[in-house]
Structure 1
Amino acid sequence: MLRRMARLRWRISHLPPLPTGSALFLTGDHRAWSSDPTGWTFDPAGELLSEHPEGTLLSVEVRARHPDGTVTEEGDAWGGRAAPHKHVVTGDAGIDLHVAGWQDASGGAARPPRSAPPREETALEAPWGEQPVRLWWPAGHDGPLPLLILHDGQNAFDEAPTFAGEGWDAAGAAQALADAGHPVRIAALPVNDDRSRRYVPFPFELNDHNSGADEYADWLRGTLLPHLHVRFGPVAAQDTALAGSSFGGLITAYAGLRDPGTYGTLGVFSPAVWPADHAFLHWLAGRSDPQARVWIDMGDHEQGTLAASRDLVTRTRDLSERLSPHVRETRFSIGAGHWHDEPAWRERLPAFLHWWRTGQG
């Protein structure tokens, strides 16, 4: 069934200064974030017309191509990365784009922090080199605490090291939990361009058909956990949680079910189980951890269209139901209006933390 095409009129409502002769153009996930302006250049009045099928979910940004051929990306007012503009195509519409600034070499260093940074940063030896570990715990709680290990640790706390200028504000969520009488310690593990190899346990194109997920899971169990137990005191498996989003959700489920009895709770946010023709779903057969509690969630705007997003929610719910008989407990939730991004995971993190420590929610 053909979907009706909607006509969108994009208007730049605010534009910081640019070199003379620069051309503005629109890019986004609908263009695979291409920096080729052909067909997507704004007119001199700052307007652009485009057509998209109704039900399309668009994430876009403005870029500028300069006379020398270089391209500058849209950023925040301090020269750092900015979250993309989002639009759900439901009919003809005019859309104003406020461009706050342009990315520059400073990386937004002068931006006022919106979230608390980790209390301590260290590094441990790993087969792939030094692995940074970003640590946070509430003041006045220096002994053993329930432990949350977070993947994509560059996105866990303050926004400075994040890819899109948005983070999880894990310290803020954990401080609220501590204020309610449930202090925890967080160990967040940043990852670099090797993310697809480290987090995806099956060979596919993005890890050059060379998965390093088992090596990573071995390191979590054999190096990270022993180090933290020596440093802060031993923590029982039932008080140890592993969590992550997207590919981080995939490695959370994989490492937890691969090594039953190691983690008492798994936080599987927006799991990306599609690599290698959904190989994870085949691997899952026969896996179990009778003592593990598993949180699985998904936003309802995580695919390119509303229809595809509804299908993804259904498939993720099916994953939760399939896993339920093989673990102690599953909890499935849907993030209403949530896209596949850090703001959505930041919003869902407090509910996960509350469920982890109280069993309620």
Structure 2
Amino acid sequence: MQVEVDTLTIELSTVPFDNRPVYLTGNFCKWLPDLEEYRMTMVSPGNYRYQFPEDLELPNPIEYKYTRGGWDQVELDRAGRPYGNRIVEAGETLIKDSVIRWQTDVSTKADVSPIVETVSDTFEITQFSRTRRVRVLLPHDYYENPDQRYPVLYMTDGQNLFGEGSEYGNWEIDKSLANLAREHKAGVIVVAIDHGEEDRVQELSPYDNPKLGKGYGEKFLQFITGPLKTHIDEKYRTRPDRLNTGIGGSSVGGLLSIYAALMFPQTFAKLMVFSPALWISEKVYFDAVHFFEPFETRIYLYAGGKEGAHMIPNVNKLKETLETQSFGYTRVKIKSSVDAKGEHDEKQWSKEFPKAFEWLFFE
């Protein structure tokens, strides 16, 4: 049976960091996977659209799939298996689909890239009366192991961490996690929280500064440890205890992470502290002396030699202060990493991420 469809439109949302084109294939084109007339139009990164010609006669029902240009590049389900045929019944005019994984090449090894999901584009931060995009990177086999629970690493500056990154660069943690997965060292859920653009420094800094103004970092941590962590623990299979919960960031995000170790030890036991903006306030050393509690904790401190004259001395001073306050407790482990040629940028933090990640969660 043939049916004439007036204006059938199909919209697709998928991962924004795959630059391959997207094609529709189905019983309307003999299942050929890469016909140019069925190539979808990219509306924005990760969003595609296709409208069938008004006078085209289509089968009823329509069966179809998405490809990236061949049957070796077909859509996959959450578990990494080929997706079943999709179906459109007569009378439907707008279809909205999503694809979270794609096959890359039949000759390559299994895809172990993390599964990227958007928790919310507008997660409410009640502490600021603002909203923020929050995404998660799940282990590649998350949906294949329904009984397994995972540690969680919360990370700031989500725009800069993976995919296409931002104008400032890209940590490429998705690629690092895929490489670690091949060594069975990527079984952690990473929560990426976007920063507040022009309000970034004030939001993330836990200290006031005469030039930068008031710091709201403590409120930001209240958001993470309160509503956000509650939501993540309810929606995903996490290990919610402190020993399996970490936080990480760079620059002012690194400062926020060390503050989390001092003021929220009941929540965080793993801290990824890259190039912390310790210059914002000397009070951080005072807090380290008065509030650091020697619970079982791991702190990874990184500093680069080309980040200004004070970066390495400040980080060394912080490390010595923390070690003094831990009273020799073996439960507190602090690992420092210094790159004499390291600059204050995403490229450098990208190199350091897998080292810190592995030490924090798998050593």
Specify if TM > 0.5: yes
In structure 2, the CA distance between the partners of 1:326 and 1:163, relative to structure 1 (3 Å rule), is farther
How far apart, CA to CA, are the structure 1 residues paired with 2:358 and 2:181? 10
Matches within 5 A, 1:148-227: 148-160=153-165, 162-164=166-168, 166-182=169-185, 183-192=187-196, 193-205=198-210, 207=212, 209-227=213-231
2:107 aligns with none
**Contact kept? 2:115, 2:140, Cα under 8 Å:** no
Matches within 5 A, 1:123-162: 123=120, 124-127=123-126, 128=128, 129-142=130-143, 143-160=148-165, 162=166
How far apart, CA to CA, are the structure 2 residues paired with 1:135 and 1:286? 34
1:20 aligns with none
In structure 2, the CA distance between the partners of 1:195 and 1:206, relative to structure 1 (3 Å rule), is farther
**Contact kept? 2:257, 2:271, Cα under 8 Å:** yes
2:322 aligns with 323
Is 2:267 aligned against 1:262? yes
The one-letter amino acid of 1:121's match is T
**Contact kept? 2:158, 2:192, Cα under 8 Å:** yes
Q: What do residues 196-225 of structure 1 show as CA deviations (whole Å, max 9, x unaligned)?
A: 111111112454x32211211111111111
Is 2:243 aligned against 1:246? no
Which residue, 292, 303, 307 being the options, matches 1:298?
303
2:108 aligns with none
Identity %: 25
Which residue, 337, 354, 357 being the options, matches 1:353?
357
Matches within 5 A, 1:327-346: 327=326, 328-346=332-350
Unaligned residue ranges in structure 1 (runs of 5+): 1-107, 111-115
How far apart, CA to CA, are the structure 1 residues paired with 2:181 and 2:271? 20
Q: What do residues 168-206 of structure 1 show as CA deviations (whole Å, max 9, x unaligned)?
A: 111111222222122111101111211111111111245
1:279 aligns with 283
The one-letter amino acid of 1:212's match is Y
How far apart, CA to CA, are the structure 2 residues paired with 1:312 and 1:120? 35
How far apart, CA to CA, are the structure 2 residues paired with 1:122 and 1:247? 24
How far apart, CA to CA, are the structure 2 residues paired with 1:117 and 1:169? 12
The one-letter amino acid of 1:170's match is I
How much has 1:283 moved relative to structure 2? 2.5
How far apart, CA to CA, are the structure 2 residues paired with 1:206 and 1:144? 44
How far apart, CA to CA, are the structure 2 residues paired with 1:266 and 1:178? 21
**Contact kept? 1:245, 1:270, Cα under 8 Å:** yes
How much has 1:313 moved relative to structure 2? 1.3
How much has 1:231 moved relative to structure 2? 0.8
Query: 1:321 aligns to what SS in structure 2?
Result: helix
The one-letter amino acid of 1:337's match is K
Is 2:116 aligned against 1:119? yes
The one-letter amino acid of 1:197's match is Q
Query: 2:342 aligns to what SS in structure 1?
Result: coil
Query: 1:168 aligns to what SS in structure 2?
Result: coil
Q: What do residues 258-277 of structure 1 show as CA deviations (whole Å, max 9, x unaligned)?
A: 0112111101101111114x
Q: Where does structure 1 differ by over 3 angstroms across 4 or more consecutive aligned residues? A: none
The one-letter amino acid of 1:260's match is P
1:85 aligns with none
How far apart, CA to CA, are the structure 2 residues paired with 1:229 and 1:335? 36
Unaligned residue ranges in structure 2 (runs of 5+): 1-43, 47-112, 327-331
Larger radius of gyration: 2
How far apart, CA to CA, are the structure 2 residues paired with 1:139 and 1:349? 18
How far apart, CA to CA, are the structure 2 residues paired with 1:285 and 1:326? 6
How far apart, CA to CA, are the structure 2 residues paired with 1:334 and 1:244? 16
The one-letter amino acid of 1:262's match is T
How far apart, CA to CA, are the structure 2 residues paired with 1:205 and 1:163? 28
TM-score (normalised: structure 2): 0.61
Structure 1 residues 239-248 or 140-149, which shifts more? 140-149
Query: 1:286 aligns to what SS in structure 2?
Result: helix
**Contact kept? 1:335, 1:348, Cα under 8 Å:** no
The one-letter amino acid of 2:317's match is D
For these two proteins, the number of residue pairs brought into alignment is 238
